[in-house]
Structure 1
Amino acid sequence: MTSARPADDGRIRQRPPHVGILIGSLEAGGAQRMALALAHDLLADGWEVRLLLLNPDREMTLPGDGPTQAALEARLSVLGGSSVRAGTLSKSLRFPRLHRRLEAAIAEHDLDVVVSFMERANLLNLLGTRRVPRIISVRKQISVALADKSALKRTLVERAYPLLLRRARAIVLNAHGSAADFARRFHIPNARLNVIPNAVDPAIVQQAEAEPVGPGADLLGPSTVVTVGRLVPAKGQAPLLRAFAQVVRQVPEARLVLVGDGPLRDRLAALATDLGIAPQVAFAGFQTNPYPWMARAGALALPSRAEGFPNALLEAMALGQACVAADCPTGPRELLAPDTPVNRITEAVEVTNAGILVPPMPGEDLEAAAPLTPSETALADALVRLLHAPDLRTRLQAGAAARAADFTPARARAAWQSVIARSLAPSSG
C-alpha cells in the first residue's frame, strides 16, 4: 500500500507508508521479538519504519542480515534515558517528556501510524494526538498482566485504558483467550479486536543444527527434559523441579536442563539440592541460540503460570519436539488443543494430537518438603509417560510439527499489514 502526499508543485506523489513501532526497550522478550519481526517485515516489503524505544536497555540483536540490521539501527531512536527497571512512579513522572518526544518523532519522520507493544508504550501511544492513527498490541491476558503489577501501576492501567481505548484505531492481541478477556474487562466489542498469533521462523530448524555449548550440553538426549524461559516465578520452574524429583524416582536416567537465566537461579539451584536431584539438573544459562537444546531433548516442558503467547512452546513444536505444558492463560491450549474452547482448563493429564496439557501449576513456589500438589503430580506423570513411551513421543512430535506449520511468518506479516492498511484508510477514521 502507498499513501498519497502532495508534491511541491501540487501534484500527488506516492510513497510507502511510514510506520512507527513503539516499545519499552529491547530487553529479551516475546513482545520485543515480535516488534522487531514486524519492523523487519515491513522494511523488507518496502515500507518505511522507525523503531522508537522508551528506554535504552538492549539485549536483543536486530533481525536480518548485516545490511538489514544496519538499516534498522539507522531507524532506531531512544525517546527516554532511564532504565526499564525504574519504579512505576519514576516512569509515570517521565510520561510528559516521553509524550513530547514521541510527538516530535512523529513529526520529524513524517509517520503515518504508530504501532505500540505492551502497556506502558500503549498508554503513551494512546495519549498522543489524533493526527495519526494509533494501533496498540496487547501481548498478555490483561487480567493476568494486571495481577502481576504493583498497586500503583495496576490502578493507572485500569483507569487509563477505558478512557483511552476509544483512541485506538485497532487493538491487536496474540491469542483468542486474551482477546476474550480484554473484551470482557473493558467492554470492547469483538469487532474492534484483531487476533494475530505469533509466528515461528523456519530458520530455527537450521539454527537447531548447531552444537550446544555450556552447562548441561552433555546431558541432552532422549531421557532429558528441557525447559526454556527466564528464571522468574511466572515461568514455574520451581513446580517443575518438584515434579521432576518424582520423575527421577520412576525414570532414574532422566535429566533436566533449564535454559535461561534470571533472579531465581540461586533459589532454584538450592531447591534442586534440597530435593536431592542436583546431579540430574543443569542450569544452562541464557542461550542466544536455544534451539539445539530444544531439538536434542526427549521432551520440552512449559510449566508457566501465565503466558501471553508461548514462543518457546511454538518453537519446540516447530522443531518436532514432544511437549508438556501447563494449561495456563493464554496460549498453550490454543497451540496444543485448538479444537477445544479457549477458556477450558484441564483438571487432569490431557493428551492431544500435538502435545500434553496438565492443570495449572500452584500459585506459589513450595519448599522441597511440601507434598506435591495435584498439578505437580500430573506434570510428573505426563513427563514419565513421554520418557517411557517412544511411540507416544513419536506421535506427538509429528502432531506438534504439523500444528506449528500453521504459524508462518507470511501469515502473520499479511495480517499485520492488513490491520495497518485498514487503519490508514480514510473510512477507518
Structure 2
Amino acid sequence: MSENLVAIFVPSMRGGGAEHAMLNLAIGLQERGLSVDMLLIRVKGPYLSKIPPQIRVIDLGALRVLTSLRGLVRYLKKEQPASLISAIDHANIVAILANYLARVNTKIIITVQNTALTILSKKRKLKIISILLLMKIFYSWAYAVVAVSRAVADDMTNLGVIDRSRIKVIHNPVITPEIKSKSKSNIEHRWLVTRDRPVLVSVGRLTAQKDFWTLFKALKLILQQRPIRLIILGEGEERESLEKLSVELGIEADVDMPGFVDNPYAYMAKADVFILSSAWEGLPTVLIEALALGTPVVAADCPGGSREILQAGRLGRLVPVGDQKMLAEAIVATLDEPVRPVDPEALKPFTQEAVVEKYLELLKR
C-alpha cells in the first residue's frame, strides 16, 4: 500500500466543471505533499495541458468508462494507492467495482457532481431503474460519498440511493489564485474593448442542460428596450441549433459564441452581468467564479447549487428555470443598480485551500 499516493479518476480532461474541479483538487493535494496520479480513460481535453508535471498522468487506454475497468483493476493491483477519488456517476460505479475485483485496501471516495432527478427523467423507465439499482448497490460499498452541494446530497437521499447520514458535503475547489491573476489579462474581443453597450457573459458547454435557448429569448426581449450583447464561452453538440435560433430570433448580430477559451476569467471579470441559465446543475462552478471576480450575476433557480451559492438570492438574483420574461427583467434590474461587493467570507467554502483541507481530513479518517 502506497500511503502517500492518491489517485483521481475521471474520464478525460474535457472542458467541464467536474474535470476542472478534480484538476484543482489534484493540484491542491500535490501542493500539500501528497503524490497524485490522474487516471484518464481518454488522455485528451483542453485541461490536459494544465496538469503540472509533478502529477503523473495514467492512460487507462479505453474508449468508454465501462471498458476502462480492466485497466483500472490493473493499476490498483500494481500501485495500490491509499485512496482513489472519482467523479461522474459511471466512473464512480466502475471505481468501486474495480477496487472490489482488485482485492486491495484502497479507500474509494466517490464525488457526486450533479443532481440526478432531472437527468433521469429524460431516460426510459427501464434505464432509470437500472441506473438507480446500480447506484444503490455500489455507492454503499464506497469508503465515502461526497456531494458537491447540499442540493445534490438531498437529491441522492430523495432518490433512495444512500442514507443522508453517509453523505458528506464538500464543495468543489473552485476559487484558486489563478482566477484573479488570469482575470487581469488583456483580451481583444471587440465588444469588450469598445464598450458602447452592456455585455452579458455566460460560460458552459453548448448542451440542453445549460438552456441557452431561454437566454437567447430573454436577450431578444431586452433588445426591444435597449442595446445589449451576449458572449457565450463553450463548445458542444447544440452549437448548430443555437446558431439557427439566433438567426430566427434576429439576434445573431448581438450574440457571439467563440467556443472554448483558455482564459474565461478575463471575459467574466469584464462582463456587466454574468448569466447562468441552466435547467439543472450540481454546483455551478462558473457562478462561483463570477462572484469571486466581483461580477454581478443572475441565475436560474435550477435543481442544484445556484440557490445555495447565492444564499437564496442575497448574492444575486434568482429566476425560475425556463422563464425568459423574468430572466430578461432580472438582467435589466441588475444592469440598472450599483455593483454590490460580495463578502469574501461567503465564498470561503469554495476556495481551493478550504476544500483541500476537508479532503485531507477525509483521507486521514
Q: TM-score, normalised by structure 2?
A: 0.91
Amino acid at match of 1:17: N
Q: 1:173 and 1:231 mapped to 2: Cα distance?
A: 25
Superposed displacement of residue 287, structure 1: 0.9
Amino acid at match of 2:53: A
**For residue 296 of structure 2, what is the aligned residue in structure 1?**
322
Give 3-state SS (helix, strand or coil) of 2:140's partner: helix
Matched, 1:355 2:316: yes
Superposed displacement of residue 403, structure 1: 2.9
2:349–2:355: 8 Å Cα contact kept in structure 1?
A: no
**For residue 80 of structure 1, what is the aligned residue in structure 2?**
61
Question: Deviations along 1:360-395, whole A, 9 cap, x unmatched?
Answer: 11xxxxxxxxxxxxx1110011111122x232xx12
2:279–2:302: 8 Å Cα contact kept in structure 1?
A: yes
- CA distance 1:399–1:71, shift in 2 (3 Å): closer
2:205–2:236: 8 Å Cα contact kept in structure 1?
A: yes
Superposed displacement of residue 170, structure 1: 0.4
Q: 1:390 aligns with which of 337, 350, 355?
A: 337
Question: Deviations along 1:218-264, whole A, 9 cap, x unmatched?
Answer: 4657611111111111111111010111111112x211111222222
**For residue 191 of structure 1, what is the aligned residue in structure 2?**
165
Q: 1:317 and 1:80 mapped to 2: Cα distance?
A: 38
Matched, 1:201 2:176: yes
Superposed displacement of residue 149, structure 1: 5.3
2:14–2:45: 8 Å Cα contact kept in structure 1?
A: yes
Matched, 1:125 2:95: yes
Amino acid at match of 1:301: I
Please list, as runs of the form range in 1=range in 2, the aligned pairs for 1:28-47 lying within 5 A after superposition. 28-47=15-34
Q: 1:274 and 1:49 mapped to 2: Cα distance?
A: 49
* Range with greater deviation from structure 2 (318-327 or 257-266): 257-266
- CA distance 1:187–1:261, shift in 2 (3 Å): closer
Q: 2:343 and 2:272 mapped to 1: Cα distance?
A: 14
Q: 1:261 and 1:114 mapped to 2: Cα distance?
A: 30
1:307–1:330: 8 Å Cα contact kept in structure 2?
A: yes
Superposed displacement of residue 326, structure 1: 0.3
Superposed displacement of residue 294, structure 1: 0.9
Superposed displacement of residue 184, structure 1: 2.1
Question: Deviations along 1:383-412, whole A, 9 cap, x unmatched?
Answer: 11122x232xx12xx137663344221110
* Range with greater deviation from structure 2 (276-285 or 378-387): 276-285
**For residue 9 of structure 1, what is the aligned residue in structure 2?**
none
Amino acid at match of 2:306: P
Amino acid at match of 2:236: G
- CA distance 1:120–1:212, shift in 2 (3 Å): same
**For residue 343 of structure 1, what is the aligned residue in structure 2?**
none
1:215–1:284: 8 Å Cα contact kept in structure 2?
A: no
Q: 1:179 and 1:399 mapped to 2: Cα distance?
A: 26
Q: 2:138 aligns with which of 150, 159, 164?
A: 164
2:149–2:305: 8 Å Cα contact kept in structure 1?
A: yes
RMSD (Å), alpha carbons? 2.2
Amino acid at match of 2:62: G
Provide structure 1 residue ranges, at least 5 long, that are not aligned to the other structure.
6-14, 85-90, 341-351, 362-374, 423-429
Q: 1:327 and 1:225 mapped to 2: Cα distance?
A: 18
Please list, as runs of the form range in 1=range in 2, the aligned pairs for 1:18-417 lying within 5 A after superposition. 18-63=5-50, 69-72=52-55, 75-82=56-63, 84=64, 92=66, 94=67, 98-127=68-97, 128-129=99-100, 131-132=104-105, 133-148=107-122, 154-186=128-160, 188-199=162-173, 200-214=175-189, 216-218=191-193, 223-251=198-226, 253-337=227-311, 340=312, 352-361=313-322, 375-387=323-335, 389-391=336-338, 394-395=339-340, 398-399=341-342, 403-417=346-360
Q: 2:117 and 2:192 mapped to 1: Cα distance?
A: 38
Question: Deviations along 1:322-351, whole A, 9 cap, x unmatched?
Answer: 0000000101100112xx5xxxxxxxxxxx
- CA distance 1:175–1:222, shift in 2 (3 Å): farther
Give 3-state SS (helix, strand or coil) of 2:12's partner: coil
Matched, 1:421 2:364: yes
Superposed displacement of residue 153, structure 1: 5.6
The number of equivalent residue pairs is 360
Please identify the structure whose Cα radius of gyration is greater.
1
Question: Deviations along 1:96-154, whole A, 9 cap, x unmatched?
Answer: xx333222211211312221111111111111225322111110012234335577764
Give 3-state SS (helix, strand or coil) of 1:385's partner: helix
Q: TM-score, normalised by structure 1?
A: 0.78
Superposed displacement of residue 321, structure 1: 0.6
Q: 2:195 and 2:243 mapped to 1: Cα distance?
A: 19
Superposed displacement of residue 210, structure 1: 1.0
The percentage of aligned residue pairs carrying the same residue is 29
- CA distance 1:416–1:402, shift in 2 (3 Å): closer
Give 3-state SS (helix, strand or coil) of 2:159's partner: helix
* Range with greater deviation from structure 2 (162-171 or 267-276): 267-276
Question: Deviations along 1:264-322, whole A, 9 cap, x unmatched?
Answer: 22222221222122222222221110111111111011101111211111000000010
Q: 1:185 and 1:176 mapped to 2: Cα distance?
A: 14
Provide structure 2 residue ranges, at least 5 long, that are not aligned to the other structure.
none
